[in-house]
Structure 1
Amino acid sequence: MQKLRVAIVGGGSISKVHIEAIKDSGLGEMVCIVENDPEKTEELSSEYSVPVIQNYKEILNREDIDVVHITTPHYNHYEIALDFIRHRKNLLIEKPLTLSIKEAETLVEESEKNDVCTAIVYQNRLNKTSAYLKKLLNEEKYGKILGVKGILAWCREPEYYLGSDWKGTIDKEGGGVLINQAIHTLDLMLWFGGNVKIVKGSVHKNRLTNEIEVEDTVEAFIIFENGAKGIFYATNNYSYDSSVELEVHCERGILNIKNNKLRLFSDDEEVLLAEENFTKNEFNKKCYGNSHETLIKGFYESVLGKTKNYIDIKEGIKALKVIEKIYNKEEKTW
């Protein structure tokens, strides 16, 4: 079986989830890792039997690399992705796609021009619960969508930010809980609810007033083109990382995802429709979900077969549009 030759750019914690998923996919083999932090370089060198390179520009022209995973801090996603796209490398990019809509649109244009596959890591779309809920909505099993709700209540202590040179900063992280922790929740809301007509929201720094430049709390009200109402709330100020809650209110029932279970509430009855059997390894935090391997394998199948079994980076622009309006405190009608 043909295997794709893979490089990972960025050696932080999420890269290890990618490395394990690459191994388990059966379709990829690691060629190298790019990481410029000396401490991380040493750790990666001892842990994985592949070369660790300090500058990604050294591998731009290598013909023995078919796919590149970008798992770096937010602020350099755009520059690195653009370089690899222009060198005709297929890319898998961790969220957020970029820090601006303009940058994201440039990546889409360049990907089409250079005929490469570029995907964003919205792995939670592939969770059993999310995928089944989406199927029910597509089939209009319970009638029209009337409302969509997304709630995230997690905990990030000062050490989370102070131990990093980019987290908690406007220029490098691009924002706080909205663009980092809650972007997956927002993406699922938009995936379930469809195109947005109006969004109005606000961000707040309620707790870590001196330690960070970015928000720790966000709330928003959304009206979708289909008339459904959306409410969205996220904070990093809770006592622990509680389960994200996603809910879709339909004409003939309420579909709710929480604690890795999809339930139907209808006529005073509660029915379990699907359940995610979360398997945690030493690298995979529960908030990541189970679906990195599914996403990566599907992307590799697409690259090998020129199919479209991946989440195109165009999908990454949808959440960015809502995020940008909330950060700019604009009430936007599309």
Structure 2
Amino acid sequence: MSKEISEQPDNCVPEADTDSIGPTWPPKESSFNRIKGIDTRGVITDTRRLSEILTVLQDLRQACLKDEKLDRASVRILIENNLLLKSSDTLQGFGEAVIPLSGSQDELQETSLLYLGFNCPKRQPNPEELRQSITNVQHAMRRDTASFKQIRARTLEQGYQLGISDFGERVNDEQVWSEMTSLYKRFGWNSEDVLDILRKENNILAVASLNGQIVSAGIAETVLLTFEDGVQLRMAEITEAATREEHQGRGLYTAVASELMFELYKKSAEKQLLDGQIDLVFGECNGNAPGVLKAVRSLGRSFSHEYSLTMGIERVVPGFLPQHVPIAGAKRSTPYNDLFPAYINRQSLAKFIEENR
């Protein structure tokens, strides 16, 4: 049995995984004994192509059953909404979560990002912990969106400074390296892990500082996916958030995440986010961290679990990623955590920032 890790609600740090979005197509072996991939061949609009994807997953499952190491697959596809609803029963055993892309670009108004996957028998959730995680998410779903202006003001009133660390500073300033390494080291990250994520030019780093020292940080990993049918999707995943223990419980997780969202909004409004506008901001949230879930909701993000309930497909697409990665700081009895995607689209991001500034 794996060791239990004490809960730290101001942190959501995968254990030394510095590339969250992962490979495209075909699926490849990835971190934490997984096979991952995003199908970039184009939006799936017919049952033939969907059946082809499901066959790939069936073959991967057979291969994983014979493999001593690999025990999970996770793939993402773009799918037409009508096809998703019409074919939802065929996803039984593979459907995990769905993120609607309405509110992004015109070409994707009737399209969703669908997570498909499976776990081998040795990598299954603890049923009691999973039920509690679902309860945590459903409680968070009732929370109202907060005011961006008030989030920022509350943090500044406590004496903290908020800002974005520009690329030149974070790759050349040894003090930033040192403080970030110190912040993340208790999660098993070493200095090379930290430097790797700082050196990725498409990553955005937001920090909260006190007396000139970084005490909380969060990262948005941005990516431009170009599909073979000409569709382009600009995504940002908010991940790797950490707060020094003595500064937890002061709203810094929420403040840093809101700073990232504001920076994404600004770059998008100026069409400077990967030379264009953001389509989707999301994160894969630890269901066993109620504080993180509430913060995510207060920042205007919706849960995939909620969307599945609304669309009546929760039986086949429940809205979570079972035993996906280990999140340092969250108490658990299993080797990995069950994650719940939460998202905000371009239009909703602009509304959150503009109405609450």
TM norm structure 1: 0.30
